[in-house]
Amino acid sequence: MRVLVTGGAGFIGSQVVEALAAHGHDPVVYDVRTDPEADVRNPYAVSRALAGVDAVCHQAAMVGLGAGFSDAAEYVSRNDLGTAVLLTAMADAGVRRLVLAGSMVVYGEGRYECERHGVVRPGPRAVAALEAGRFEPPCPVCGADLSPGLVGEDAPVDPRNVYATTKLAQEHLAAAWARATGGTAVSLRYHNVYGPGMPRDTPYAGVASYFRSALARGAAPRVFEDGGQRRDFVHVRDVAAANVTALEAGPAALAEGALTTYNTGSGDPRTVGEMARTLAAAYGGPEPVVTGEYRLGDVRHITADSSRLRAELGWKPGTGFAEGMREFAEAGMRGA
């Protein structure tokens, strides 16, 4: 299969390219890092790149929480306009297979259960509570403490920042494209991807990159809130393997004319504080510092139930948390 990989020179995209080649496919890299014209917002360049292509693995995106609301237009342009241009060109070229780099951020907060009221959905956390160090969202009915759990693909979506909103819009565009063309679309909702080759020293990288960059400078990782935020840290090679699995899935597994979503996580939730301590110990650097700071667009707990991807497509992660963090501590990072 000849597969166009947008963002194919990036952190995740480059691993997808390697995994595709290892499985006997012919990956085609489309990335502004290697060709300034290779922008997914450029309809002429995209159309040329689609010649002879059987499928598209769409990794190109502006990622991360960003720097406030000032970059909202850039997020929408790169992520949503770019996706619309790409899908239009795919429709015209007759390319009917898409795997999209989705994100767990579309859920907002994860799954919570109240002892009295069952499963509930807390609203956005209040500034006053965050300033006072009350980081756990309370039950929206009675104000009691909540127990976080795993969120499934059928959970309601509730994006809480600009990046999350654009990732959800990408899924809606992919679903509309699939309905209009009879194509097959898969969104892999990545959780916190980490591993060799992460970009360093950028506000758009994930928390693992922040911590690893600090250690490389000889500084202590700065852990926001109280470090108790639960996340699912999944290795980049496992995410790349999930892309290959989705591209190779047969018609019995995936519906034509529709978008199928899959959580893509390790299934092994950890706290941010635990990740920082494990990484610092593996690196041999300073102990993390818990700062109590917060970012308003962040959520407290978001961890995946990735059982659907395992059951329906047969994917499973191959790199455990401790092993992955040891490798990440020793690996190089790329420039922002």
Q: Confirm if 270 and 230 have CB atoms less than 8 A apart.
A: yes
Amino acid sitting at position 302 = I
Q: Cα-flanking dihedrals φ and ψ of residue 120, to 5°?
A: -130, 165
How far apart CA 301 and CA 232 sit, in angstroms, is: 10
How far apart CA 100 and CA 84 sit, in angstroms, is: 12
How far apart, in Å, are the Cα atoms of 261 and each of 58, 98, 120, 246, 249? Answer: 14, 12, 22, 10, 13
Tokens of 90: 């795919």
163 is catalytic: yes
How far apart CA 124 and CA 263 sit, in angstroms, is: 22
How far apart, in Å, are the Cα atoms of 120 and each of 10, 81, 155, 156? Answer: 37, 34, 11, 11
Q: Confirm if 269 and 190 have CB atoms less than 8 A apart.
A: no
Q: Cα-flanking dihedrals φ and ψ of residue 277, to 5°?
A: -65, -40
The catalytically annotated residue of 30, 112, 163, 294 is 163
How far apart, in Å, are the Cα atoms of 320 and each of 8, 33, 274, 298? Answer: 25, 31, 14, 25
H/E stretch holding 64:
none
How far apart CA 148 and CA 137 sit, in angstroms, is: 10
- Which sign does the torsion angle of CA 159, 263, 249, 236 carry? positive
Catalytic residue numbers, as ranges = 163
